[in-house]
Amino acid sequence: MKRIISVLIMSFILTMAPFAVQAEPSFTMLEDAFYSVLFPKINEAVQQYYGMQKKYDCPTIVSMKKVYSGTYLFAATIEITKYEGKEYEPPKPPFDKVLITFSNKEGEWEVQTIKVVHLPDNTKVNCRKPE
């Protein structure tokens, strides 16, 4: 009887093992998670700079560094492409490359600087979509 129960338990464990094992998170998944944390701050920065919310896409981590070794304090620069257009319309000029530098020295991610570079009107907005 013990042998039958042991075999049933082992069979159950072996058949459920593939469902219990999680794959390692990919870099792009971690990057997307980081953007999801920063999007409210990015929206605030865009709204503050332009005076109203503007559409943007193509978030990219330009740089990220630890402020102090052995801590969870970082400085990160994120680049987005700002454009005009209505919901479900293709992006229209004017296009801007917006570089936003963040820091979490005070515990929460806060905008440190915003730098805007105007892009040509023929700029194509074609970026990686989240996984």
Residue 12 resides in a domain: no
Confidence of residue 127 (pLDDT cuts 50, 70, 90): confident
Residue 53 resides in a domain: yes
Residue 5 resides in a domain: no
Domain span holding position 110:
25-119
Query: Lowest-pLDDT range, 16-30, 34-48, 93-107, 114-128?
Result: 16-30
Please state, in angstroms and rounded to a whole number, the distance separating the CA atoms of residues 127 and 119.
16
Residue 20 resides in a domain: no
Is the Cβ–Cβ distance between 78 and 59 less than 8 Å?
yes
**pLDDT at residue 24, as a whole number:** 77
Residue 110 resides in a domain: yes
Nearest to 110 by CA among 56, 81, 67: 67
Residue 74 resides in a domain: yes
pLDDT digits (tens, 9 = 90+) for 45-81: 999 999 999 999 999 999 999 998 999 999 999 999 9
CATH number at residue 98: 3.10.450
Confidence of residue 128 (pLDDT cuts 50, 70, 90): confident
* Residues linked to residue 52 through DSSP beta bridges, in sequence order: none
The total of other beta-carbon atoms located within 10 Å of residue 43's CB is: 13
In the chain, the number of structural domains is 1
Burial of 116 from C-beta contacts in 10 A (0-12 / 13-18 / 19+): middle
pLDDT digits (tens, 9 = 90+) for 8-36: 455 555 565 555 456 677 888 899 999 99
**pLDDT at residue 1, as a whole number:** 56
Please state, in angstroms and rounded to a whole number, the distance separating the CA atoms of residues 40 and 98.
15
